Structure 1
Amino acid sequence: MNLELLSDPLFLWPCLTGLVFALLLPLCGAYLRLRGEWLAALSYAQMAAAGSLSAAALALPLVLGGPAAAFLAAAVKNAFEEAAEATRGAAYAMLLLAGWGTAVLLAANLPLAERLGHALFDGQLYFTDRSHFLAALGAFAVAVPLLRWLSRPLLLSHFYPDFYRARGRSSRRLHLAFDLVVAGVLALATTSVGVMAAFALVFIPPLAAAPWARSWRAALWLGALLGGLAHLLAFALALVLDQPFGPVLALLLVLLGAASALLARGFPRIAA
């Protein structure tokens, strides 16, 4: 154990970069869980990883390949949902398999892609720098106002599905706009914290916050707080114990989710 690493300036940017995404991803995850689309987050992350590896193979910037693939996935998912209600889950599975298959084949056949693939799937946050932090900060500055603007329409379309139809309007553009926001955030997060760590931050903090929040806004705040605290603890543990960041964060979040569920069962009146 090397406690001196916690004060090393070299790890400041990685820690701040991960913290930004740890606060932002649970906000996206809350709306994905509301719509029953949390699995879409894993699809976007896998497609973003495949896009980043494809960009590396073509000697293009990773920051272009990941978002491009994630945006394409969001568009395909939206088209599937409009085509037929029964294909809602099929789109996630097909995108997930397409991203995984492409990423594995690239990593198996290209030396550079192999190293990058390990970083994307293991969640090696330590190699991020100031540019990654600025990209994360930019994503936060763009995504949060957009989520706030989309929040009321998303809630209306979920709880009152006939609201737009009764006014002769469609919620398709609303859902596509939300999908693009989430896809962009996950694409950038994947290149920094890794595929599974990004998915864990989308899925578990909102899940753990749900039994204890008395309102939607409280659930958003609590989810972001849990994500941020989990990131800081996982970053410190992974650094001190010399372990990959992604698995440490994922396991810590699993413990958080399990503890929240068990406590909610033990104190149903408080959690209600």
Structure 2
Amino acid sequence: MNGDALLDPLFRIPFAAGLLLALALPIVGTLLRLRDEWLAALGLAHLAGASGLVGLAAGIPTALGAPLGALGGAFVKSFGRFRGNTVYALMILVGWAATLLVAANTALGSAMGHALVEGQLYFAGRAHLAGTLVYVASTLALLPWMIPVLVRTRLFPGLEISDQRSTQRWQLGFDLLVALGMALGTSTLGLMAAFALVFVPPWVAFQRAPHWRACLTMSAGLGILAYVLAFAIALAWDQPFGPTLVAVLIAVAGLTIFQGHVAARRLGPPPVSS
């Protein structure tokens, strides 16, 4: 496969579906990092992968099976009033164990488990594109109302106590938004690629952006740039897309760390007080 494949109509729908996720997932990840719940992405992705595999074993398409596990995890987290990353670590363990056990005890074998982990972007069709388009449009429409509430409850925790019912409603809505995004990302891009989009661009943006709006913009921009670059590399060099995207994002993270060290050396050591 060579670079001319980028112009092939066969890849237009997969490219568009992934591009939309590369826009939305880093924005969602920025809000997760604001809440110190970035591990939610990996926990919900594991549950989505597990339920997607269970669905396939029962004859249910991945696009329908994957969201069930992720949404179930979001409801458990919200109604159980769990805070922090502990509940998401447990989701990772549950999803990992379930995925391997289903793969080992059904006719699917380990091949489908690897397919969910590595992603199936090149097989994305119109149904994937339509679902992703609806998700991204809904996310961009809801976030202007969700973001102020999430920021206020993070900066002023007392508001969560005084207006508990309203705050819980918004938080449940956001948790469901994250769950659906990770289900779509896992079934389309792959488990680790979806998590990398949620984790790396927001982490870089939090290091570099001067203010909140710039943080959201930078996070989404890095996600899109990394996705386009990874798509081109994967097609040109005939590589699996999921690992290629993760490698590109790791390179972005490494460059950020290197620039941070260079900037720290230029500033020099802090002055010693007398």
1:201 paired residue number: 197
- Which stretches of structure 1, 4 residues or more, deviate above 6 A after TM superposition? none
The question of whether the paired residues in 2 share the 8 Å contact of 1:57 and 1:113 is answered with no
1:35 paired residue number: 35
Which of 231, 238, 246 aligns to 1:235? It is: 231
Of all paired residues, the percent bearing the same amino acid is 43
1:263 paired residue number: 259
Counting only pairs closer than 5 Å after superposition, residues 183-202 of structure 1 correspond to structure 2 as 183-202=179-198
Letter in 2 for 1:150: M
Task: List alignment gaps of at least 5 residues for structure 1.
Answer: none
In 2, the alpha carbon distance for the partners of 1:28 and 1:167 equals 24
Shift of 1:178: 0.9
2:135 paired residue number: 139
1:109 paired residue number: 105
Secondary structure of 2:251's aligned partner: helix
The question of whether the paired residues in 1 share the 8 Å contact of 2:44 and 2:73 is answered with yes
Shift of 1:169: 5.4
The question of whether the paired residues in 1 share the 8 Å contact of 2:38 and 2:85 is answered with no
Letter in 1 for 2:69: A
Shift of 1:9: 1.3
Which of 206, 214, 233 aligns to 1:210? It is: 206
Secondary structure of 1:266's aligned partner: helix
- 1:151 equivalent to 2:140? Answer no
1:180 paired residue number: 176
The question of whether the paired residues in 2 share the 8 Å contact of 1:123 and 1:195 is answered with yes
The question of whether the paired residues in 2 share the 8 Å contact of 1:121 and 1:196 is answered with yes
Shift of 1:36: 0.7
Secondary structure of 2:81's aligned partner: helix
The question of whether the paired residues in 2 share the 8 Å contact of 1:123 and 1:247 is answered with no
The question of whether the paired residues in 2 share the 8 Å contact of 1:25 and 1:185 is answered with yes
Shift of 1:167: 5.2
**TM-score normalised per structure 1:** 0.91
Cα separation, partners in 2 of 1:167 and 1:118, compared to 1, 3 Å: closer
Shift of 1:52: 0.9
Cα separation, partners in 2 of 1:162 and 1:108, compared to 1, 3 Å: same
In 2, the alpha carbon distance for the partners of 1:75 and 1:34 equals 20
The structure whose Rg is larger is 2
Which of 125, 132, 137 aligns to 1:129? It is: 125
Deviation string, structure 1 residues 196-216 (Cα, Å, up to 9, x no partner):
000000000111122221221
Letter in 1 for 2:119: G
Letter in 2 for 1:8: D
2:60 paired residue number: 60
Q: How many residues align?
A: 266
The question of whether the paired residues in 2 share the 8 Å contact of 1:53 and 1:113 is answered with no
Letter in 2 for 1:172: Q
Cα separation, partners in 2 of 1:169 and 1:119, compared to 1, 3 Å: closer
Task: List alignment gaps of at least 5 residues for structure 2.
Answer: 268-274
Letter in 2 for 1:127: F
In 1, the alpha carbon distance for the partners of 2:4 and 2:108 equals 32
In 1, the alpha carbon distance for the partners of 2:86 and 2:256 equals 30
